[in-house]
Amino acid sequence: MNLTLKIWRQKNANDKGKMVDYKINDVSPDMSFLEMLDVLNSGLILKGEEPVAFDHDCREGICGSCSLYINGEAHGPDRGVTTCQLHMRKFKDGDTIYIEPFRATAFPVIKDLIVDRSAFDRIQNAGGFISVNTSGNTIDANTIPINKHDADDAFSAATCIGCGACVASCKNSSAMLFVGAKVSQYALLPQGRVEAVDRVKNMVAQMDLEGFGNCTNTGACEVECPKGISLENIARMNREYLFANIKD
């Protein structure tokens, strides 16, 4: 395939940035999207030009690093996949592909297609954990009976990889699907109930402090989420938050 790429180029966080056109030829439909960008960068380097900076790590849909906004969709036109799992067979010969970083006030651009998603880390640090006594008094988690439906829902919430597609897809740049998933994976288990009140209050407070918008139930986040995280997690977080404030 021969393609035209329109890629966002930005030297640093303070640069204005702009879309730059690139032609790339002989793209195999079996290439992943990131492999196609690797080929582009190899050509740019050979010509003495600056390669396009983009984030990636595992290239297996696990780490959530490879977050790109492709033709107006987080992670591109496929569903249930991250950018690294997107293959060029989803495009046609002669296509023009627009490639941008995720856009959100809380996700400032570092360079080209790389954004700073450390806001998610700070939200997680605010309460997305369980405090465990490791002094020798720990109890085997398998000895605590847990309802099968609760266990399944907790595991589903825990599949969130923190890629930020929910934020990039939301017209309000809301992070409530991410926070809802992180709250839910603990709220559904007995080990997480001990710190449930402080957890949801602290994580929501940090989310607001980071500058994410509010949820208006559009549902774009669930559609674009590569792991299919359900909106039910937002509803659960809202219930947890209400209960926490009533309990106070």
CATH number for 3-111: choose from 3.40.50.720, 3.60.15.10, 3.10.20.30, 3.30.70.330: 3.10.20.30
| DSSP bridge partners of 21 | 6
Q: What is the pTM of this model?
A: 0.93
Whether pLDDT at 37 is above 80: yes
- Distance between start and end Cα atoms, the chain: 61
Cα–Cα distances in Å, from 198 out to 38, 64, 129, 246, 247?
44, 27, 11, 13, 11
Which of 62-76, 123-137, 171-185, 214-228 is predicted with the least confidence, judged by mean pLDDT?
Answer: 123-137
pLDDT above 90 (res 131): no
Q: Which of 108-112, 113-117, 139-143, 170-174 has the lowest mean pLDDT?
A: 139-143
Fold match, 3-111 / 117-247: no
Rounded to 10 degrees, what is the CA torsion of 238, 242, 243, 246? 170
Q: 124-128, 142-146, 161-165: lowest mean pLDDT where? A: 142-146
Tokens in use for 124? 């997680």
| Structure token pair of residue 31 | 């290439």
Residue 133 has pLDDT above 80, yes or no: no
CA 247 distance to own-chain centroid: 32
The answer to whether the beta carbons of residues 220 and 169 sit under 8 Å apart is yes
**Mean per-residue pLDDT for 88-96?**
97
pLDDT by residue (tens digit) across 146-184? 999 999 999 999 999 999 999 999 999 999 999 999 999
Provide the residue count of the chain.
Answer: 248
Confidence of residue 248 (pLDDT cuts 50, 70, 90): low
In this prediction, residue 143 carries a pLDDT of 79
- pLDDT of the residue at 162: 96
Helix axes 196-210, 232-247, angle to 10 degrees: 110
Q: Where are the domains of the chain?
A: 3-111, 117-247
CATH of 117-247, one of 3.90.1330.10, 3.40.50.150, 1.10.1060.10, 1.10.1670.10: 1.10.1060.10
